[in-house]
Every structure is written in structure tokens, then in C-alpha cells.
Amino acid sequence: MGSTSTGASLTSTTSDIAEAIAAAESAGISLAVSNPCFEVWLILHFADCTAGVAGPKAAEDKLRKHMPGYAKGTLDFAVLAGKVDKAVERAKALGAGNPSSDMWRLVEVVRKH
């Protein structure tokens, strides 16, 4: 596992995520967290994702079944646009844990404005 110059681990645990969420909420900041990674949110555009995801690599592999050319930093949003409502529905049904994604909260805020 990698570390920063301060020696902190780059990997996150469930308790790290909960601590970050609590700190953000106490500061009046809302977070949209996907566990274990953002790719879970993308998977939800295509299919249910209810079984635990081993990590980012496993999520990317699962996503590539739906988006064969997927690579971090290169997204064709047109492919996802018509699937957002279903992704929101699936994400809401997951709740917290692994897998989960709160990106639906961001979508709803953006849609209000």
C-alpha cells in the first residue's frame, strides 16, 4: 500500500469514510461517496450492483462488461445520459456499505437548479 509523505495510508476503510462524512457534515458540507469507488456509480447505469466489490480494479472490470473501452479519465457521457434515472433508482436501493454510491444526491441537487 502506498503512503503520503506524512506516512498516512492511501487506502480507505469504512471507518475512514464514516469519519470523513461526519467531519464534512459538521462543517456543513455534503459529500457524494461511492464505495469502494466511483465506478460503482457508473455500473449502476447499466445493471444492479448488489454484491460486494473487491476494490477499484474489480469495479473497473465489471464496468468494462458494459463499457468495453472504459478507462479512467475518459467517459462518453452520451452513453450514460439516458440511463441516469435508472442509476439513481439503483443507487437509492443500495443504501450504505459496499457497494454503494451517493452520486444520486448530487444528481438531484443539480436537477433542482
Query: What's the pLDDT band for 11 if we cut at 50, 70, 90?
Result: low
Q: Over the stretch 23-37, which tens digit does the pLDDT of each residue have?
A: 999 999 988 889 999
DSSP H helices, 4-83, are 14-26, 39-43, 56-64, 77-81
Report whether pLDDT(8) > 50.
no
Q: Enter the pTM of the model.
A: 0.81
pLDDT at 64: 96
C-alpha cell at 48: 444492479
Closest CA to 64 of 82, 83, 46, 48: 46
DSSP H helices, 1-113, are 14-26, 39-43, 56-64, 77-81, 84-94, 103-112
Q: Over the stretch 47-94, which tens digit does the pLDDT of each residue have?
A: 999 999 999 999 999 999 999 989 988 888 999 999 999 999 999 999
**Cβ contact 32:106 at 8 Å:** yes
**Cβ contact 13:7 at 8 Å:** no
